[in-house]
Amino acid sequence: MPLRRRSLPPRRPIAPTLTAPRAAIPAAYGVVIRDARGEAVAKLKKYIGRFTNNVAEYYGLIAAMDYAHAHGIRAIRVVSDSELLVKQMRGLYRVKSADLQPLYERAQKMSAGFDSFRIEHVYREQNREADALANEALDETEGKPPNPPAAKSESPERALPRRIPARFRGGVLYLLEDVGLPDGTVVEVSIFPLQKRESS
């Protein structure tokens, strides 16, 4: 009895499965600095451009450590709602992203400069204040009014002078606290160096 071959449907080419990189979106960070009693001593926020959320998380961590170094803080405990960042900083996850690698290396180097550095993961609900700061930075960049609307304050002409800590780096003066002024407000700056520059 002759053997008959079953006719099979023609083979369709198999398309390779590609993992698409995370899309860059408008990104910002928010950081709340607290003292040993849990009191907020500084709030940092900044729009950083179009990046992934993971890049923004590293920028926030670096900003927090930069603040601590500038203020002579030798021991810090970081809490972040980014499980990826926490596990990478603890050495539990490898850093595969080319965008994150230089930020990770910088963060590791900075963290080694403290007498004590701890980093812990918290859920997003436990990190609402920092999350709100990041959203404020995004809204301000997009020209949206803050949410909820800020209470009316005195006009800038009548406002009393305030002392705001700042850092001078690379020809730019960076404020270390949110001043809460509308865009375009003209201010007068008086410089009072807090640390003496070492003579070279």
What per-residue confidence (pLDDT) applies to 142? 73
Q: Which tokens is 120 given?
A: 């812990």
Do the Cβ atoms of 68 and 118 come closer than 8 Å?
Answer: no
Quick check: 129 and 32 in contact, CB under 8 A?
Answer: yes
What is the rounded CA–CA span in Å between residue 162 and residue 99? 38
Residue stretches of the chain with pLDDT short of 50 = 1-9, 11-21, 148-158, 199-200
* Torsion angle in degrees (nearest 10) through CA of 152, 133, 120, 61: -130
Alpha carbon 105 to its chain's center:
16
Per-residue pLDDT tens over the stretch 97-156: 999 999 999 999 999 999 999 999 999 888 899 999 999 999 888 766 555 444 444 444
Residue-by-residue DSSP string for 114-128: SSEEEEEE--GGGGH
Dist. CA 160–CA 191, nearest whole Å: 17
Tokens representing 145? 């009014």
Task: Enter the DSSP assignment of 82.
Answer: -
Query: Which H/E stretch holds residue 46?
Result: strand 40-51
Please, which residues bridge with residue 172 across strands? 169
Phi and psi angles of residue 110, each rounded to the nearest 5 degrees, phi first? -65, -40
At 156 the pLDDT is: 41
CA 148 to each of CA 47, 50, 105, 132, 143: distance values in angstroms, whole numbers, following the listed order: 19, 25, 37, 11, 14
Q: Is the pTM of this model over 0.75?
A: no
Predicted pLDDT at 170:
67
User: Cis ω on the peptide bond leading into residue 148 (within 30° of 0)?
Assistant: yes
C-alpha closest to that of 83 among 57, 60, 50, 47: 57
